Chains A and B, each alone.
Chain A
């Protein structure tokens, strides 16, 4: 295989863009802007999530942060974090489109403050409106198959079910449900968003056949964020390559891997 073919094989498409990396990374919670920048680079992620907030009138108001992200040359995926209704999310999405110059939006409408579980009713409602307004909606949702179907009915071409609650680092709480979503939408880009804590969780997500992962806390809150970002980059690649290679069938009993024909010595000497 030539290098060119190898590259072709490894690219994938989402939201009208061709990407190499299957990891999306958040820009929040890092110990410093420099560590954020180093971690994003080490992750090899080509998509970085960002947000919008009120800032003081006379301050630099996000300009320093935004410059670092712009200079990295990555795709930005603005979120609607903190919204509790479809109306709020629609307003933030429109503001984000103007500020960041992208029609991509990570739609996040929270229904419960304790576990930051998305509100399915408001999320579907907002998705309907945003798709009509020309947005590429990346909906953050639970692992509920029926909600996933409603989002697709609303016009979403991408789904982002959670592994577990945001920032919990608990990994994939319900692989069965995630598998069901994968099987229901074999051709749709699916990203596991939220809950990933360790590289092994990322491998598991990729082995389920998910197209990518989105994480933030797992890297930003690691002892060494840039090193953890690198570990995740390798995990995502390992998981994807393993998925594409096709895992063996699990078996209930042991089966020797070394040939039994010609086994020497004692077994035959009774």
Chain B
């Protein structure tokens, strides 16, 4: 079954019960340098596999940009 989630503000349909590592693979996210937050809470790399994505979750994948 597919579920709807928000990734960086865009609605996406993904398989249910994916963990964060599987989600990133499914999204074909190409960059190496990024960090993930689920529902505005930080998810560290070593927690990717134990963090399961649920229907309606808000995922933020952030990468380096210029800053002041």
Contact = CB atoms under 8 A, between A and B. Distances in A.
A95 B67 CA distance: 15
Contact of B66 (A28, A56, A95): A28
Given A54-B9, A57-B28, A99-B33, A94 B42 contact: yes
Most chain A beta-carbon contacts within 10 A, residue among B36, B62, B67:
B67
A26 B64 contact: no
A66 interface: yes
**Which range contains the number of A residues in contact with the other chain?**
35 or more
Contacts of A91: 37, 40-42
Say whether chain A's binding surface is mostly helix, strand, loop, or mixed.
Answer: mixed
Interface in A69-128: 69, 78-79, 81, 87-88, 90-92, 94-96, 98-100
A79 B65 CA distance: 10
A29 interface: yes
A55 to B, nearest CB: 5
Interface residues of B, number: 28
18 contacts: A26-B68, A29-B66, A36-B66, A51-B64, A52-B64, A54-B60, A55-B61, A57-B61, A59-B30, A60-B31, A61-B29, A61-B30, A65-B64, A65-B66, A69-B64, A91-B37, A98-B42, A100-B64
Interface of B: 7-9, 27-37, 40-42, 44-45, 60-68
The 3 closest A-B pairs by CB, nearest first: A51-B67, A26-B68, A95-B35
Interface of A: 26-30, 36, 49-63, 65-66, 69, 78-79, 81, 87-88, 90-92, 94-96, 98-100, 166-167, 216-217
